[in-house]
């Protein structure tokens, strides 16, 4: 059995209606896991499930508001009821909506970004960890942070704050739960070619190639599958000594 063989495992992926989350859910299923696809967007989430099933995998969609405690608790419970447990989780649901400097951001906008990007990580960790502790067989959790966790972009104060928080929470939880055999790490994606990135570029009226050149030494955007591969590695036995790590998958952006 390969270190990245997830046969018999159960994985949960939030933000899986498209982009990096969809790629990660599909990759888990291709590696043998049964997968819960979680998102607010039912059409996209069900399409992810169809993609998995068409390829011979097993998945379910659960509509989830990751900023709501009851909804996240129901998500974990629904995963266990359907598949018998929880071994791996990738918490990737996020939004990026800003165009203004901090003084011009509406309070409601700030609260929404923090709720979806940071409160969600707290809630997902809370209920995923409870389930893994109850099972007593360990597990692996990956939180999706950002290169903004280290290097802010202009006009993204709330988003940057949320992603700094994701990284801090990841590291603290990793220390707390490593003795229980639960490894918690983060991925810090750079410019990944997703609908969210394309929308942000359009919103700011920028040229996509100029953005790719500025945010990657490779002169291209990353593919969602490249994040998926990193997530599976962090959830696999191949990374068994990796705890509390922030893995930058960014085309060299942070190195420049």
Catalytic residue positions, numbered: 159
Distances (CA, A) of 80 to 12, 24, 126, 169: 10, 19, 15, 25
* Stretch (H or E) spanning 149: none
Q: Are 43 and 16 in contact (CB under 8 A)?
A: no
The DSSP annotation for 70-94 comes to HHHHHHHHHHHHHHS---EEEE---
Residue 100 φ then ψ, to 5°: -110, 160
Calpha distance 150→95 (Å, rounded) = 18
Contacts of 122 (CB under 8 A, 6+ apart): 169
Calpha distance 253→136 (Å, rounded) = 39
Q: Are 174 and 183 in contact (CB under 8 A)?
A: yes
Tokens of 223: 């593919």
Query: Any bridge partners for residue 58, and if so which?
Result: 34
Q: How many helices (H) and strands (E) does the chain have?
A: 9, 7
């Amino acid at each position: 059995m390969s270190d990245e063989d997830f046969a018999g495992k159960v994985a949960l992926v939030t933000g899986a209606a498209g982009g990096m989350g969809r790629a990660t859910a599909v990759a888990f299923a291709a590696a043998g896991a049964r997968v819960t696809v979680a998102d607010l967007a039912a059409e996209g989430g069900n399409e992810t499930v169809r993609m998995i099933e068409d390829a011979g995998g097993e998945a379910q969609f659960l509509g989830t508001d990751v900023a709501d405690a009851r909804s996240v608790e129901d998500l974990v419970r629904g995963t266990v009821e359907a598949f018998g447990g929880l071994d791996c989780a990738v918490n990737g649901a996020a939004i990026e909506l800003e165009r203004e400097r901090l003084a011009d951001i509406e309070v409601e906008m700030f609260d929404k970004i923090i709720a979806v990007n940071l409160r969600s990580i707290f809630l997902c960790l809370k209920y995923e960890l409870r389930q893994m502790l109850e099972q007593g067989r360990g597990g692996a959790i990956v939180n999706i942070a950002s290169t903004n966790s280290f290097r802010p972009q202009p006009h993204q104060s709330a988003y940057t704050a949320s992603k700094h928080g994701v990284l801090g929470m990841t590291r603290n939880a990793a220390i707390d739960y490593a003795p229980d055999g639960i490894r918690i790490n983060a991925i810090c994606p750079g410019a990944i070619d997703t609908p969210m990135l394309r929308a942000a570029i359009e919103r700011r009226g920028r040229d996509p190639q100029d953005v790719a050149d500025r945010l990657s030494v490779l002169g291209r955007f990353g593919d969602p599958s490249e994040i998926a591969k990193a997530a599976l590695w962090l959830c696999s036995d191949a990374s068994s000594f990796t705890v509390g790590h922030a893995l930058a998958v960014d085309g060299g952006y942070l190195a420049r």
